Amino acid sequence: MSFRLPDRVKETTTTTGTGSLSLAGAVTGHYKFSDTNGVGNGNSCAYLIDDGNGNWEACFGTVTAGTPDTLSRGTLINSSTGSRITFGAGTKTVAIVPLAELLLTVSGSAALTETDIASATTADLGTVNTFRARITGTTAITGFGTQPNCLRFVRFAGALTLTHNSTSLILLGGANRVTAADDVGLYISDASGNWREISYHVASTNFVSSSATGVPVSTATNANITSIPVPPGDWDVEGTVTYTPSGVTTVSSVQGGASSTSATFSGIANGGFTKISGTLDNASGNNIPTPRARFSLTTTTTIYLVGEVVFSGGSITATGYISARRASQ
């Protein structure tokens, strides 16, 4: 099946209601939709239905050859009322005509307005009758429906999780994504209705960081050197701790974690960063860096990521920093 917009295709129909159209044959001097010079059997197109009384509808459809030929009424592009038209009795014309709504640069096109759709397990973008959609709510999304050959520019109203599926919801990076307010993405479906993310941009880098100098720490476990507040989203985090030990005898590590155990993490072992090993050996100025780690945080409240030192015996004086930046993908 392919999408086609040929010239000089026009038929009539007496179909009523909102369902598929039964076509009555070509108007003189024009092709039928099912002709090889028309759209062709099994192919799709964008077309206009007009009853001659001011009621019209532009939508996508698929041609099926038969007795009679039929034309489905797929995703609505625009209409005389802005909604699907319930056509009454009488003869209507059905034709391939130039549609400004298909030219995405046309100023003032109704198809370019933004339509809200509530988040749901399946947030069906195919039911949105405009190119732009805003997804509201916080329900995790596992699919965008099955509308074939559809393109949507999506803005997110807040934090929710998009669940990656390698077949039906293919996200950049091949992993789940946590959105934030005013993040935007571009999504396209194939002929089978499987959706792919082709672009994603965060509204703000939301860079946060913190540093601490000369923090004295006695014998302790999980000694907090520095911390930063992190709201929901996808983050790249890094940090380091430099310490001067006194009488420390135990090999241990620098790590990061969350001060809120109720937060939900993805990509962080045991609710915190994987520990970065380092020897606390009484030598002055030891530096243990934590390499950059990416993780997703979904929670309704801001949590704190903390830079910590784990050791036993003696004491240390520590200096460190931890920073995080919103990840684009």
Each residue's pLDDT tens digit, 268-315: 333 333 333 344 444 444 445 555 666 666 654 555 555 555 555 666
Measuring CA to CA, which residue among 7, 1, 15 is closest to residue 49? 15
pLDDT of residue 254: 42
Q: Give dist(CA 157, CA 68) in Å, integer.
A: 46
Res 326: pLDDT: 78
Tens of pLDDT, residue by residue over 122-149, are: 999 988 877 889 999 999 999 999 988 8
Can you spell out the DSSP letters for 38-73?
SS-TT-EEEEEEE-SSS-EEEEEEEEE-SSS-EE--
DSSP class of 273: P
The model carries a pTM of 0.55
Higher local confidence (pLDDT), 238 or 260 = 238
Residue with tokens 């459809």: 61
Task: Give the number of C-alpha atoms closer than 13 A to the C-alpha of residue 245, restricted to the C-beta side.
Answer: 23
pLDDT level of residue 164 (50, 70, 90 thresholds): very high
Q: What is the pLDDT of residue 176?
A: 86
Predicted local confidence at residue 325, as pLDDT: 78
Better-predicted residue by pLDDT, 12 or 283: 12
What's the pLDDT score for residue 290? 52
Q: Rounded to a whole number, what is the distance in angstroms from the first to the last CA of the chain? A: 32
User: Quick check: 205 and 286 in contact, CB under 8 A?
Assistant: no
Instruction: Provide the sign of the torsion angle of the four alpha carbons 225, 228, 233, 237, taken in this order.
Output: negative
Average pLDDT (8-36) is: 94
Q: Give the total residue count for the chain.
A: 329
Nearest in space to 321 (alpha carbons), one of 310, 300, 306:
306
**What is the predicted pLDDT for the residue at 130?**
77
User: Is the pLDDT score of 30 beyond 60?
Assistant: yes
Residue 134's pLDDT is 96
What is the per-residue pLDDT for 29?
93
State the chain's mean pLDDT as an integer: 76
Neighbours of 8 (CB within 10 A): 13
**pLDDT for res 323:** 72
If you average pLDDT over residues 142-171, what whole number do you get?
Answer: 92
Number of neighbours of residue 267 by Cβ within 10 angstroms: 14
Please say if the pLDDT value at position 193 is more than 60.
yes
- Is the distance from CB of 217 to CB of 328 less than 8 angstroms? no
User: Greater confidence, 111 or 199?
Assistant: 199
